[in-house]
Amino acid sequence: MEKKLIYDNPLSGPDSVSGFCMEGKAQVTFPNGKMRMANLLDPGIGQAANFVFWCGRAFPASIEAEWDFCPISEPGLAMLFFSAAGQNGEDLYSPTLAPRFGEYKSYHSGDINAYHVSYFRRKAPIERAFHTCNLRKSSGFHMVAQGADPLPDAHDSLPPYHIRLVKDKNHIRFFINQLPLFEYIDDGITYGKVLEGGKIGFRQMAPLVAEYANFKVYELI
């Protein structure tokens, strides 16, 4: 399989995210030349304190995406949405779609389709007690794959952790520091059609603070 670099963003300063779109309220800063994200709303209000930061570009159906991740403080949760689009193929920002403000239900059971992988799950006590990476397919909140999460808690981390997601048509694989964590082959029947191209978005659940850098996307050819 060959791949072609189609997007290269160091996430090193405000200009790097000039085309991004925030859903919800968050602070985005670059104290170490890396994109640091933190919630602006009180975690006590629940899902309304969470947010998604979308890359403005649409990507093709077969991609490899990679980025560096560093947890700064927890609890919280980090997630990546990919192949995100309206259920009828609309662009994610189409005015025909319902507004979204970071509450999870509007992403997993609203009017968009997406795959989403949660890979630093430290929000609920059960997540902190047993670390996993989960892949879901929406609309519908379907758990389709799960693997162990090798990331340590923030106070023990030795970043950066290199994360890689490969979506080759209907075959999805996920790696951290080259360690394979899970794979999933979407049959296009059990939970609806195979999702194709669309947007990529970084989601955090409050009060996680984390940094991201060196975001690259390749087209698989």
Burial class (CB in 10 A: 0-12, 13-18, 19+), 190: exposed
Query: Domain containing 53: what range?
Result: 3-189+198-220
Tokens 């709303």 belong to which residue?
41
Mean pLDDT estimate for the chain: 97
Q: Say how many C-beta atoms besides its own lie within 10 A of residue 42's C-beta.
A: 11
Say how far apart CA 9 and CA 214 lie, in whole Å.
Answer: 6
Q: What is the CATH number of the domain that holds 128?
A: 2.60.120.200
pLDDT of residue 1: 78
Say how far apart CA 58 and CA 199 lie, in whole Å.
Answer: 5
* pLDDT tens-digit readout, 46-104: 999 999 999 999 999 999 999 999 999 999 999 999 999 999 999 999 999 999 999 99
Q: pTM for the whole thing?
A: 0.97
Structure tokens at 57: 């570009």
Beta bridge partners of 76: 122
pLDDT of residue 170: 98
Total domains in the chain come to 1
Say how far apart CA 43 and CA 46 lie, in whole Å.
Answer: 6
Beta bridge partners of 121: 77
* pLDDT tens-digit readout, 22-33: 999 999 999 999
> Which residues are CB-neighbours of 141 under 8 A, at least 6 positions away?
108, 109
* pLDDT tens-digit readout, 181-197: 999 999 999 999 999 99
One-letter amino acid of 34:
K
> Which residues are CB-neighbours of 41 under 8 A, at least 6 positions away?
24, 25, 48, 49, 206
Q: Are 208 and 122 a contacting pair, CB within 8 Å?
A: yes
* pLDDT tens-digit readout, 145-176: 999 999 999 999 999 999 999 999 999 999 99
